A and B are shown apart, each in its own frame.
With several copies, the nearest count.
Chain A
Amino acid sequence: MKLYEYLAKGILRQAGVPTAPGEVVDTPEQARAAAERIGPAAVKAQVLVGGRGKAGGIRFGNTPAEVEAAARAILGMDLKGYRVERLYVEGRLDIAQELYVSISTDRGARRPLVMASAKGGVEIEEVADEDIVRRHLDVEVGAWPYVGREVARSVGLEGAQAAAFADIVTRLYDVYRRYDAELVEINPLVVAPDGRLVAADARLNVDDAAAFRHPDLPVVEEGTELERRVRAIGLAYVELDGDIAVMANGAGMAMATLDAIQHYGGRPANFLDAGGGASVEPTAQALEVLVSMHPKVIFINIFGGITRCDDVARALLQVRASRGIPVPVVVRLVGTNEEEGVRLLREAGIEAFRDMGPAAEKAVALAGGRS
């Protein structure tokens, strides 16, 4: 779960990280009023995509009127597929230098990782490896100030600035821990002309699996409307741009199924993991989602381990009976209770495949062949 910049900043501020004064607004008029309190300001689109600046999602104004105009220009914009509905009006910072600092979970090392760079202000992926300082943390010790001091030295900071940087690292780690973060990032961490450090932009991504520990955290809905709807019924779902609707059991199988469709020249419309051991009801729900997408073909690929083939067959027949399925359905069905499942489908006029390859090929053919 990603948090909007303004939420991330609020959390950092509360944790004691220095930030500029800022206000969230929904209208140009509110932006003007905020600017009257704040002074010269940056107006920043609150969307969960990187590179807002380049895409025109950040503008500046020296007067309330300029800030209002900037807000008017940005509100309603489409930024990489997301409509801008909310802005953050933030006091403008004078910049002597831009640093980068983040704490994230390093999957390979299985430890938290502090990354820092004296070359902040661009996406960290664009920074050369030798310009990034990497420092793993021991989860049983955490980030005491000395870690920050070491990193500060490595990025070339000294004296009061090194101390301020070390302090920020400790506070970032507090946020990382307290909010079950996957990533907490300040980029840029601005060095002001007077030497103070200020977090100019912030990201905070929270581990979805830990959301139950953070009931107060405002839920930011990611993804398309359909994705949200399907996830709400507890299924893993990703919208794609093809025309073959796909259901499989298990994330790996679902990915492999998309790959197989692509292999034969088809274009999958979605990723949908119906679960490794789903019974009739959730499977039927998942199927209804597929039907609602108006695909050219529906492809169901089941390897019955814990999932029972007869359950899948029943779910399919149930959906067909209750609401009809106006497009061809290709079913591959093997494994537990395979015979019963295949028989049920055959009686309903559906011939199930035994192998995944030919089934995928057939689905692609029914969708109109190679795109």
Chain B
Amino acid sequence: MAILVGSETRVVVQGITGNQGSFHTAQMLAYGTRVVAGTSPSRVGGREHGVPIFATVREAVEKEGANASVVFVPARFATDAALEAIDAGVGVLVLVPEHMPVQDTMAVLAFARRRGVTVVGPNTFGVLSTEGRCKMGIPPNHIYRPGPVGLVARSGTLSYEIAASLSAAGLGQTTAVGIGGDPVAGLTFVDVLERFEADPETRAVVMVGEIGGTAEEVAAEFIHRMTKPVVAYLAGRAAPPGKRMGHAGAIIERGRGTLESKRRALTEAGARVAEMPWEVAGLVREALGARAG
């Protein structure tokens, strides 16, 4: 088992003929993902890496049975692409682009809520499930192994670092989910934690947070009630207030979003909080051992 995506996920790639879209389509296919269609304004009727190209997501849904979409178009076209996918009836929508206007994101999420669509991102590396071998997004294929750990992160590369260290320690993953680095995102930590809590294969959860907003504090409230152990790492201790640390969402503003607040909330909720990324695997092993004993 896994969460969000799996063997039944039939993916349409929006923007399949672009540099990013084409490269990652090949990578997703290599991982085993059922990429059944792509969209592009050009080369309609042709193929990219063997995948048929359509003008619209609606056609991809109707003709190829696509039920999930991953968006690789440039940020300023991403809102249109997202609304198109929701309207066409996909169930899961992964928004890879960085720099989507926040108010556009809110409009997309409102429409998605009405249509019951799960939105991952924007500004996310995506989702990867080891069982069913489905990847929607951009994480490197080789670092993940099947196993009992659910991984949820705001950041891409930092989560790859941690996934690789888990894999190296023999702690494979059920699903890795990127909620994205933007201030407003579809999936929250809580949304993902709920799914991991309900997923029978997931036995422990690793949560990679960072400064900015209060998503980690809200997650802590849920962690209180979780039966599965949670190990957290939080990035941004060295960040000064008022400065955006790369991610649009990674900023301490008006006294909110400090690392200390997040660490305290998570610790009080019973999560094990690693000081450094390389400590995560050890804490997971300890948590799994403690739970088993």
Contact = CB atoms under 8 A, between A and B. Distances in A.
Do any beta carbons of A and B sit within 8 angstroms of each other in the complex? Answer: yes
A98 interface: no
A139 B114 CA distance: 12
A148 to B, nearest CB: 10
Interface in B49-96: 55-59, 75-76, 79-81, 83-84, 87
Contacts of B105: 110
Contact of B246 (A141, A146, A271, A334): A271
B44 A158 contact: yes
Nearest to B233: A256
A308 to B, nearest CB: 11
A177 to B, nearest CB: 7
Contact of B184 (A105, A153, A163, A336): A105
B278 A250 contact: no
Contacts of B83: 141, 144, 146
Nearest to B86: A141
In the A-B complex, the 6 residue pairs with the smallest Cβ-Cβ separation, listed nearest first, are A252-B155, A251-B246, A250-B157, A252-B158, A146-B84, A210-B101
A355 B185 CA distance: 32
27 contacts: A107-B183, A108-B215, A110-B109, A110-B185, A124-B254, A139-B107, A145-B80, A146-B84, A158-B44, A162-B55, A182-B102, A209-B248, A238-B239, A248-B157, A250-B158, A252-B159, A253-B157, A255-B158, A256-B233, A259-B237, A263-B275, A271-B239, A305-B140, A306-B140, A307-B157, A334-B164, A357-B276
B161 interface: yes
B238 A268 contact: yes
Nearest to B259: A259
A213 interface: yes
Interface residues of A, number: 68
Interface of B: 41-42, 44, 55-59, 75-76, 79-81, 83-84, 87, 99-107, 109-111, 114, 125, 138-140, 142-143, 153-161, 164, 181, 183-185, 188, 208, 210-211, 213-215, 218, 233, 235-240, 243-250, 254-255, 275-278
A270 to B, nearest CB: 11
A140 B243 contact: no
